[in-house]
Amino acid sequence: MKKFEVFPHKFSLRPPIILFRWFPAFLLIFVTIFSFACAEKRMTIDEAKKVTVSMDKESFVSPPRRIDDILAILDQPGQFDPEIAAKIKAQADALPPDTDNPVTLAMFYRKRGMKAFQLGRSKQALEDTRAALRYAEKKKGQKVPGFNIIDYSWILTDLALVEGLFGNYSRAIELEKRVLKIAPNHVAYRYLMRDYLHMGNLKSAEKVEKAGVRYCDEQIYRKSGISRVKYLDYKHRMQAISLDARGKYAEAESLRRSVVKNMVHYYLDRYPETYLNERRRLASNLMQQGRLVEAEIEIREILRQSMGFGGMKSSMTANHLRTFARVLLAQGRVQDAEKIIRAATRIMKSSGLSDDSFFLARVNMHLGNILFARRNFTEAMKLFDITRENLRDNQYLYKKLFAGKPGVLISLLKTGRTEEAMRSIAAKYNNFSKKFGEKHHRTAEVLGMRAMAYAQLGEKKQAMKDFSNCIPILLEKKEPFGHDYFEDQRFQILVEAYIDLLTQVHEGKLEKEFEINASAEIFKLFQAISGSIVQRALGESGARAAAVNPDLADLVRREQDASKQLNALRTILSDVLAMSPDLQTPNVVKDLKNKIDSLSAARATLKYEIKRRFPKYANFINPPLLTPFIIQKHLRPGEALIAIYSSVNRTYIWAMPNNGQEKFSIMPFGEKEVVRIVTNLRKSLDPKT
């Protein structure tokens, strides 16, 4: 028998598997030999290139590996000036003036409403900004005599912002259109375009964008000096929002960098919040491109500047910290992300935000999702329940942040609230099946949750049926270079639940009854969940490096860019279909689906062309799952493979000779016990270790 190596669990991103030295080479040879050809009708390669957009080249910066410097800044006392915090709260709590002058009352309620908005008091912000408009108008659409037209237009703009926060996009759009009729400004154009994007109306958003660009160009022509630069930046900000929403992140990046560079000269001192928010959007853009190191460096500098300006705007600081946590999660640094979010929560509470603040609710949900990812389901569920209670006055935010969210549903299952979870899961599955179809990734994920619920209720056959239907879809649709850490964790939890069910089938000797080879299925599933974000990132960059042919390298970049654009469009479609029926427009949904179909066809053509000319690429980013039977076919006489995988509660062992039946055993102890055994064994062999 050939000499073999052991890859210890503590040094490997994969589960501990005992392999022969030559075996990794076999994997590469095998997956290359078993490449496939698509027989479906495809676009031509020139057509596909027209649909997709080439990405800009990326840079690399060495990452900082600790967050102690940021935590030290956040933990410093006196971040918020008590006098300023008290002043903002006093303005939000102010009583109306003793007057019947509509202009005075309109301006009072506008100011108080926006201070309430700043404190995260969504209900008060909506009530006050609506009151401001009632006092500002003699009748709908007609301002009271003596009211300055600019002030009137800003009341309309502010109300549109708050209406959008409650999901009242039709109302927000109506208000923004009125602003553009009476006193056009760049903010109204930007808000209107953004709200059309929220509703998935890409055509209307594009029309507004073009009109906004023309408006800014006219101002650029008329203005001079710094005013001209400002309107150039207003135009670029609008264009960047549009590009980001469509997944064209590389194009948006150059515009955002230009805006940030210019803002230093005219916004940094007077309006640091606007400047830092723009930098935060740049960091988010870099994260969407997978450039996590650069995104982290950018957000670290933003936080230092934010604290340097006093950190008085709690919503601003919280948004920066949430972005930092998202970047850390995309890197798989879940413990660091939890520390950052907990620091954000402390800061927000110290700044005077109430428990029902939508800013605090959003951060609490983020922390709950992090606790979910760390498998602390009990504490996660406590936060989810608190958030649900605090959002009772804002049903839109409740539905957007809480209702039916995958992390919430799985946490309900994991904390024994199976029947409660099943009611929501059943309704969600029926809804998604109609809106997305049974083969859609989101529908399959909900089906996996239903399988978990059935398994917990003891209905093994129905659970097995649901798992068998959803897992292949989730495996097929899973992107090899995604950056959604929560989605990765949900996928792993669903697969682990399926493995638990298969284990019960194997131990109960029910494989014939269920018509399944539990050993082979478990072996494939462990391969599916053993990858990591880091490995996928290495695979992606490795594939690019291997594409030495310039034309081929361009195809690879286009395919990856198409994937990001598809994800962005699918997110828009999912958000639109989750809205109430009165906000959905059939033509808008149809247009979105057509765009997704066209881009999907283009990506399929690019993938086929890449696979034909560069077959190793597919194996870099998405290696096929192997079965014991396939492995045995490539073992030489006298060789064997031993594979070991430890879960939380069990250890699975396979022994595969080059021919004959493989041996499969399940041991009743998990990962921690295996680590203890290996540690003691090493100490006995080498006391110095």
Question: pLDDT, tens digit, for every residue of 187-240?
Answer: 999 999 999 998 888 899 999 999 999 999 999 999 998 899 999 999 999 999
Q: How far apart are CA 454 and CA 509, in angstroms?
A: 20
Note the pTM of the prediction, 2 decimals.
Answer: 0.75
Q: What is the pLDDT, as a whole number, of residue 338? A: 92
Domain covering 84-183: architecture: Alpha Horseshoe (1.25)
| Pairwise pLDDT comparison (68 vs 102), residue with the higher score | 102
Residue 666 has pLDDT above 60, yes or no: yes
The pLDDT confidence band at residue 76, using thresholds 50, 70 and 90, is low
Mean pLDDT for the stretch of residues 54-83 = 53
Q: What is the pLDDT, as a whole number, of residue 553? A: 76
| Identical fold, 84-183 and 404-531 | yes
Q: What is the pLDDT, as a whole number, of residue 40? A: 43
Q: How far apart are CA 642 and CA 662, in angstroms?
A: 10
Alpha-carbon separation of residue 475 from 206, 441, 622, 630 (angstroms): 35, 9, 10, 19
Q: What is the pLDDT, as a whole number, of residue 140? A: 79
**Top-level class of domain 404-531:** mainly alpha
Residue 347 has pLDDT above 80, yes or no: no
- For tokens 């969940």, name the residue: 529
Residue 562's nearest CA partner among 624, 479, 653, 445 is 479
Residue 532 has pLDDT above 90, yes or no: no
Identity of residue 556: V
Q: How far apart are CA 274 and CA 556, in angstroms?
A: 36
- Reported as half-sphere exposure (CB side, CA atoms, 13 A), residue 668 has a value of 2
The pLDDT confidence band at residue 648, using thresholds 50, 70 and 90, is confident
Mean pLDDT for the stretch of residues 470-485 = 72
Domain ranges, ordered by start, for the chain = 4-34+624-685, 84-183, 404-531
Residue 113 has pLDDT above 50, yes or no: yes
Q: How far apart are CA 324 and CA 74, in angstroms?
A: 13
Cβ pair 203, 239 in contact under 8 A: no
Cβ pair 390, 381 in contact under 8 A: no
The pLDDT confidence band at residue 564, using thresholds 50, 70 and 90, is confident
pLDDT digits (tens, 9 = 90+) for 17-45: 343 333 333 333 233 323 333 334 556 65
Q: How far apart are CA 444 and CA 454, in angstroms?
A: 15
Residue 82 has pLDDT above 60, yes or no: no
pLDDT digits (tens, 9 = 90+) for 371-381: 998 899 999 99
Q: What is the mean pLDDT of the chain?
A: 80
The pLDDT confidence band at residue 606, using thresholds 50, 70 and 90, is confident
